[in-house]
Amino acid sequence: MKLIVIRHGQTKHNAHGRLQGQRSNESLNLDGANEVRVALEKISEHRPLVLYSSPLKRARETADIIAKEFGLSVTERNELMERDFGSLTGLTWNEVANMGHTKLRELDKSFAYDYRQFGGENVDNVRSRIKKLLKDFSVIHTDETIACVTHGGIIRILYDVLEVEQPETTANASVHVFEIENFHSKNPFNLIKKI
């Protein structure tokens, strides 16, 4: 299975460094829509047959641009939604630190986060839903090229689950391509290569 993963284009919150998560449902800004149109060239190198998206507006609008270009329909999957920051949604990391939570950003970067005290989710919740999604895809889409539009935190978890070195950035409208083989072992996903 070839898996093309696209981060949604920029939103106003992205531009201002604010946490979005599941509870923010902003549209793309003008720059974000333009970023997605630029990314179409890289996506076209792989010609996806199927397109999935997070149901959040910024992802769905990104997916709609891609769908129009390639003549695809969009299937929403809740597993592709960004991690839930709970009541921290809409804040900047500096504002979070000023509330006395100075280590949260570092915990987030090191996959040790737990936002349940703020009504959100922890890293194990997120990792579990991504593993479930990959298992579903590996059964449904054997030997197919599929695309998913999702969020920065989910892309980072995907790299972690597939045991691939993290990229320096998961910029808005960035495109990440993996070839994955399912071999039904303890870790059921064998990354053939990161393209």
pTM: 0.93
C-alpha to C-alpha distance for 19 and 185, rounded to whole angstroms: 36
Residue 187 confidence (pLDDT): 53
Mean pLDDT of 182-195: 53
Specify burial of residue 142 (Cβ count, 10 A radius: 0-12, 13-18, 19+).
Answer: exposed
Residue 190 confidence (pLDDT): 57
Mean pLDDT of 50-60: 98
- Per-residue pLDDT of 61-72, as tens digits, reads 999 999 999 999
* Ramachandran sector of residue 9 (left: φ over 0; alpha: ψ -120 to 50; beta: rest): beta
Q: Which of 26, 35, 82, 121 is catalytic?
A: 82
Between 27 and 164, whose confidence is greater?
A: 27
Mean pLDDT of 84-95: 98
- Per-residue pLDDT of 99-143, as tens digits, reads 999 999 999 999 999 999 999 999 999 999 999 999 999 889 988
Work out the mean pLDDT of the chain and round it to a whole number: 93
- Per-residue pLDDT of 175-187, as tens digits, reads 999 998 864 444 5
The residues, ordered by sequence, that sit 6+ positions from 28 with a Cβ below 8 Å of its Cβ are 8, 9, 10, 11, 36, 58, 61, 62
| Count of CB atoms situated within 10 Å of the CB of 44 | 12
Q: Which of 8, 13, 151, 176 is catalytic?
A: 8
Q: Is 82 a catalytic residue?
A: yes
Residue 79 confidence (pLDDT): 97
Residue 111 confidence (pLDDT): 96
- Is the pLDDT score of 52 beyond 70? yes
Domains of the chain: 2-194 (3.40.50.1240)
| Count of CB atoms situated within 10 Å of the CB of 135 | 13
Q: Is 8 a catalytic residue?
A: yes
Mean pLDDT of 33-60: 97
- Evaluated on CA atoms 171, 175, 179, 185, the torsion sign reads positive
- How would residue 5 be classed by pLDDT, with cut points 50, 70 and 90? very high
Residue 181 confidence (pLDDT): 80
